[in-house]
């Protein structure tokens, strides 16, 4: 059975706030060189916190997020990367003296997710092997990044959760919270088991990215960015009782003109619902 869901959903809505902290590091491909590499992306760190306001129903999630943080030496990107590399036995990056200058960064982000279809692969509703589809669209405005984004995710598996997909670490990425008491994480025993596979396609029209365009208020290294960036995501997720574990493999297109090839990287997320 397939059900197409209304896009103008007016069900009773839930509202909540979210708070998060994060740190990101960006380096060129050649981390052994100490001199500035003019044809590759700048070194840059981003230490930030954000506050989000989310309104959701069973089929729609609207998120408004404000991010603020530090770029440059004050972001502690070099120290954080050195620590991780020393733990993992990886050579340290030598070019951090060429990183972006210190700058206060801010971004205002709006994102909407809409579950537009769901279905069960069996007529017997007691065998919850189903699928759903979620689309999203949004925009970000700020000196760190300014862009417009859109995409879609399809999920297929056993006992799908009632959340809004398996988000990567990105602006307005808070999609993991259940929408109602039917979510498997609110059940117990075997009824709480959920296992599904997902695939997603996302695209961004990039107007500004400080980690490619360079500092806003000072002269710094920069590269010519790609205006359009796309990515394909495939992954799997499993939850039992209050715990949820997801893995995604991301294949992203080139982000700047002289980049040798696109990127492929993995993303692991773990959450606890209470």
For the domain that residue 223 is a member of, what is the CATH number? 2.40.128.140
The string of pLDDT tens digits covering residues 145-154 is: 999 999 999 9
More confident site: 178 or 220: 220
The string of pLDDT tens digits covering residues 85-129 is: 999 999 999 999 999 999 999 999 999 999 999 888 776 555 588
| Amino acid 172: pLDDT | 45
User: Distance (Å, rounded) from C-alpha 100 to C-alpha 225?
Assistant: 16
| Amino acid 265: pLDDT | 86
Q: How many structural domains comprise the chain? A: 1
Average pLDDT over residues 174-184: 67
| Amino acid 168: pLDDT | 63
Domain that holds residue 9: 2-272
């Amino acid at each position: 059975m397939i059900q197409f869901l209304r896009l103008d959903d007016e069900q009773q809505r839930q509202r909540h706030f979210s708070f998060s902290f994060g740190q990101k590091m960006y380096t060129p491909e050649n981390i052994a060189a100490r001199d500035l590499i003019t044809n590759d992306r700048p070194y840059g760190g981003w230490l930030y916190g954000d506050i989000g306001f989310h309104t959701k129903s069973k089929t729609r999630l609207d998120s408004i997020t404000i991010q603020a943080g530090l770029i440059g030496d004050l972001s502690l990107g070099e120290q954080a990367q050195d620590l991780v590399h020393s733990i993992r036995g990886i050579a340290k990056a030598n070019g951090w003296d060429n990183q972006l200058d210190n700058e206060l960064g801010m971004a205002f982000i709006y994102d909407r997710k809409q579950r537009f279809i769901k279905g069960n692969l069996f007529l017997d509703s007691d065998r919850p092997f189903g699928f759903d589809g979620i689309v999203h669209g949004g925009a970000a405005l700020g000196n760190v990044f300014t862009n417009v984004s859109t995409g879609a995710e399809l999920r297929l598996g056993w006992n799908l959760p009632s959340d809004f997909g398996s988000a990567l670490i990105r602006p307005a990425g808070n999609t993991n919270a259940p929408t109602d008491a039917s979510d498997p994480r609110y059940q117990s025993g075997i009824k709480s088991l959920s296992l599904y596979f997902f695939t997603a396609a996302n695209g961004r029209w990039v107007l500004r990215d400080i980690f490619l365009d360079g500092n806003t208020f000072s002269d710094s290294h920069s590269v010519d960015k790609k205006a359009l960036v796309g990515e394909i995501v495939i992954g799997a997720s499993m939850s039992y009782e209050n715990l949820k574990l997801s893995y995604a493999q991301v294949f992203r297109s080139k982000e700047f003109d002289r980049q040798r090839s696109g990127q492929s990287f993995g993303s692991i997320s773990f959450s606890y619902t209470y």
